[in-house]
Amino acid sequence: MKASEIRILPALDPGESYVEPTFMLVETALDERGEPVTTIEHVASRIVGGKERWEVSTLGQSVALTHASALEWAVSFAASRKVPIVYHRDDSSSMRYAATSSARTESASSASK
**What residues form DSSP beta bridges with 107?**
none
Q: Is residue 110 in a domain?
A: no
Per-residue pLDDT of the chain (113 residues; tens, 9 = 90+): 999 999 999 999 989 999 999 999 999 999 999 999 999 999 999 999 999 999 999 999 999 999 999 999 999 999 999 999 999 999 998 654 444 444 444 544 444 55
Q: Is residue 111 in a domain?
A: no
Rounded CA-CA distance 113/111 in Å is: 6
* List of residues 6+ apart from 63 with CB closer than 8 A: 37, 38, 39, 40, 70
Q: How many domains does the chain have?
A: 1
* List of residues 6+ apart from 5 with CB closer than 8 A: 79, 84
CB 37 within 8 A of CB 98: no
Q: Is residue 113 in a domain?
A: no
Burial class (CB in 10 A: 0-12, 13-18, 19+), 71: buried
**Which residues constitute the domain of residue 76?**
3-105
